[in-house]
Structure 1
Amino acid sequence: MVKPILVTGGTGDLGREVVRRLAAESRPVRIMSRRPRPSGTAHEWARCDLKTGDGLADAVDGVAAIIHCASTLGRGDEQVTRNLVEAARRAGSPHLVYISIVGIDVIRFFYYDEKLASEKVIEESGLPWTVLRATQFHDLVARASAAQRRLPVTFMPSGFRFQPVSTGDVADRLVALASGEPSGRVPDLGGPEVRDARDLAQAYQRSVGRRKPIVSLWLPGKAAKAFRAGGNLTPENATGKGTFEEFLAARV
């Protein structure tokens, strides 16, 4: 019997893409979620709370690999990852593949600090592991403009650039990594283009048929300075294929 691959956060934006690709390859999948199993789901389902550990032992039991997509957005990622690692060790030490973020070692704020700490937990876990860092997803960049749709202007951080990447491209890489040998820290994955924040906001407005002023907002602090210096970018690893405009055409 072929062991399933467990996808934590399997109902999130990235997790759903990972599940689709595993299913397309006829790989058995076990979805971990805090939500109850929806009707009509063909995959194995593990209802689990990574923060409390409730249901975690059953979720990791008998899996070939774990693709760890779940995130608390900085409200406990390190502890969640520690809980997962400890359960995985007790379950036979499957290959753990973790999605992280480009620049977390040079851009310091609470969410990135949690992601960096999670990486360290995995590196020191004794498990076979692989860590992939990716740039910001298309959807996250679009939300920055969408969240301001009721304002008379759109504010964007001055001097910031982004290299937005498709969740599909990230999912493809994660599935390939989970199917291979543990590789430690692998090359980063960036989107195909480095774009100014203002330019991305204009692209979003065009896609939804709006025209309103875009105001550049200077942000203070060390984190903002690191963003302006390009700490979130990986132009040498612009291997993602999906562009921001393609994302907007399909989703917005």
Structure 2
Amino acid sequence: MMWVEVDTGALVDPDTIDFDTRDHPDTEPAEGLRHAREVEQREHILAEYFLPRDHLDAVGLLERETTNSSDDLATNNAGETSDEHGGEVEGEELAAARRAANTEAAAQAAAAQREAERLARRRVRELNKQGEAAKTTRVEFVTALLARKTPPAQAAGFLAHALVSHSGLLGEYHAFSSALKLLGLSGFGSREELIATIETAKPARCQVIVLALVLGAYENRAEKDLWRYADRGVRLYLEFLRELGNQLVPVELAALGEIKSDDIDIDNHTAPTEPDAQEPAEAA
């Protein structure tokens, strides 16, 4: 058995996997290691190939020379012993050359595999960095949205869709604390503070607070590695924000399934992908 990347099938050094994350999927892997959900074990098949003798020249191989038969040795015993030894030496040299060539080819293949794995690890690191930057920008947009006194017109349909599609959404781990942060509330007593706000708020502001609960739950799902997973709730969330004017970046488009993560330029993640975003406007 061998460890490979789930997405690409590339071989993975088990020493680079943080196996502590296997039973704790929400835990971040240790620095320099990858999450256990990114890899899986597969059977390792070693193939053995056979080539017809008349095809040797086409691939640049030579057939190993055989020694003379006993009859030939008896016939040529006088005066040809040196030729026999010369043939044996030549055959051994050819065999040694083939072994050296095979060793070199194996070394080159191993080096190419290590380089591919290094590049794959770098891509994961860089896309996660883009995911973190996207989260910061997204939270700023949503925080401004939730400062409104009235919800946007699109909110009613979005809330209905979200709560019907994901009935347990508001009970997910950290969903409520995520919503509180988006509302600018934190620390001990923040729940009571929100309840007090609801008791005196106008109906439209209460609708904004309900929207905050749903957006907070979805934002809690949208971590830095959202580009890896096409979560249905995150897709609904990102599409709603885009409808309100939030510009999506490549890692978010990958989460939507609109582009492939392998096509994202990890050296120029600031390249625009959509029209310029606008701040959510305050309703009159």
Higher RCO (C-alpha 8 Å, min separation 6): 1
Q: Which has the higher strand share?
A: 1
Higher-Rg structure is 2
Q: Which has the higher helix share?
A: 2
User: With structure 2 as the length reference, what TM-score do the two structures score?
Assistant: 0.23
User: With structure 1 as the length reference, what TM-score do the two structures score?
Assistant: 0.25
